């Protein structure tokens, strides 16, 4: 294992200390329990947005804390859900009196721990609602998951719901926007290599030099099939075909998001994006918004995911709204 770390047991706190120092104008980082809040939290009269999950997916979630997106992020150990205590503390820290929305990726530990934290917050007089992101079309049930997994679509939910909260929507309206995105976004990923969790010290699964894992999860969970390596266009075809089959779209505008898993050069992501866009346009869809880069990773895994979001005027307006976070900035 070759990693730029000191002690595997200290990866998360050392990451947070560095992140805090580099982004002190945007966030405030709390340690023990670990959580990250926007520097001006709580914003009175504004719905607070909290998300979180296991570390190792950076910049998700802490990189998306700031104006126009999340109010707080709660990182657990690498690939391990945070416990209810830090989720509760983060929820309290961003409560401005208008309620708090929990954005939860569909993994059993995340769902249970966020539910528990919401119950504890309710006992302290904080109104909490939750949405569960489950955009992965690869498999229905997988390791750590009942139903579909929450993957790259989470970034789009956080951005669009965050914009709704920033413009002053009430809690029910922000929930409705988040649910709308969840209902209209689909993703699927592929791994060219495995990743190595620091405290494990070895790759999370075995993959031959000439093999890929089609439909891989963001923790290295099994996908649809292990198959021989083929060209970028052939891989992209499989990802796009699965998404289009599930969405059953007949025209309209979409956002196309090609996400890197952490170890893939941006040049390769643009190769995938170019062919994915051609495929969507050939299917009668108009790609009006795009995002390409490493936004929800799996440590150093080589691979990518493709995400498609069906847009309308409201979602486009919210996507275009100003945002100022460590990982996504525009319009401010």
**Residue 300 and residue 232 in one domain:** yes
Domain at 285, CATH number: 3.30.1180.20
**Active-site residue, from 102, 219, 245, 275:** 219
96 and 215 fall within a common domain: no
Catalytic residue among 57, 61, 102, 275: 57
Indicate whether 3 belongs to any domain.
Answer: no
Express each pLDDT in 102-124 by its tens digit: 999 999 999 999 999 999 999 99
Could you tell me which residues come within 8 angstroms of residue 139 by beta carbon, excluding any fewer than 6 positions away? 148, 149, 215, 217, 222, 223, 224
Angstrom distances, CA of residue 152 to CA of 16, 111, 124, 198: 22, 17, 33, 23
Task: Please indicate whether residue 57 is annotated as part of the active site.
Answer: yes
**pLDDT tens, 211-268?**
999 999 999 999 999 999 999 999 999 999 999 999 999 999 999 999 999 999 999 9
In a domain, 44, yes or no: yes
Contacts of 182 (CB under 8 A, 6+ apart): 131, 132, 133, 134, 135, 153, 157
Domain contains 2? no
Residue 175 shares a structural domain with residue 213: no
Please check whether residues 114 and 246 belong to one and the same domain.
Answer: no
Structural domain count, the chain? 2
Mean pLDDT of 305-326: 98
pTM of the model: 0.97
Tell me the residue range of the domain where 61 lies.
8-184
Q: Which domain-ending residue is among 159, 184, 209?
A: 184
The reported pLDDT for the residue numbered 160 is: 99
Residue-wise pLDDT for 141-185, tens only, equals: 777 778 999 999 999 999 999 999 999 999 999 999 999 999 999
What is the mean predicted confidence (pLDDT) over 284-310? 98
Based on the fold, state whether residues 154 and 283 are members of the same structural domain: no
pLDDT in tens, 236-246: 999 999 999 99
Query: Of the residues 184, 205, 227, which one is the last residue of a structural domain?
Result: 184
């Amino acid at each position: 294992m070759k990693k730029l770390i000191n002690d595997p047991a200290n990866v998360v706190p050392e990451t947070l200390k560095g992140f805090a120092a580099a982004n002190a104008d945007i966030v405030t980082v709390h340690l023990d329990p670990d959580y990250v809040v926007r520097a001006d939290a709580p914003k009175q009269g504004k719905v607070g947005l909290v998300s979180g999950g296991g570390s190792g997916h950076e910049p998700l979630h802490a990189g998306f804390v700031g104006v126009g997106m999340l109010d707080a992020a709660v990182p657990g150990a690498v690939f391990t859900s945070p416990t209810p205590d830090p989720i509760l503390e983060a929820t309290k820290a961003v409560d401005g009196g208008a309620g708090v929305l929990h954005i939860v990726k569909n993994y059993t530990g995340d769902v249970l721990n966020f539910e528990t934290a919401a119950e504890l917050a309710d006992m302290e007089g904080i109104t909490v609602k939750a949405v569960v992101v489950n955009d992965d079309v690869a498999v229905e049930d997988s390791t750590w998951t009942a139903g579909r997994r929450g993957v790259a679509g989470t970034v789009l939910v956080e951005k669009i719901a965050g914009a709704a909260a920033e413009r002053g929507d009430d809690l029910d309206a922000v929930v409705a926007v988040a649910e709308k995105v969840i209902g209209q976004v689909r993703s699927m990923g592929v791994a060219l290599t495995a990743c190595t969790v620091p405290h494990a010290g070895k790759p999370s699964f075995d993959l031959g030099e000439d093999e890929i894992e089609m439909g891989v999860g963001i923790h290295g969970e099994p996908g649809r099939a292990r198959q021989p390596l083929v060209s970028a266009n052939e891989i992209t075809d499989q990802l796009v075909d699965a998404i289009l089959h599930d969405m059953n779209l007949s025209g309209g505008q979409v956002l196309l998001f090609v996400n890197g898993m952490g170890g893939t050069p941006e040049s390769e992501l643009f190769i995938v994006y170019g062919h994915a866009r051609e495929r969507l346009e050939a299917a009668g869809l108009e790609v009006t918004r795009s995002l390409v880069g490493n936004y929800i990773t799996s440590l150093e895994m080589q691979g990518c995911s493709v995400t498609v979001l069906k847009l309308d005027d409201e979602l486009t307006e919210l996507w275009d709204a100003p945002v100022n976070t460590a990982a996504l900035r525009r319009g401010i």
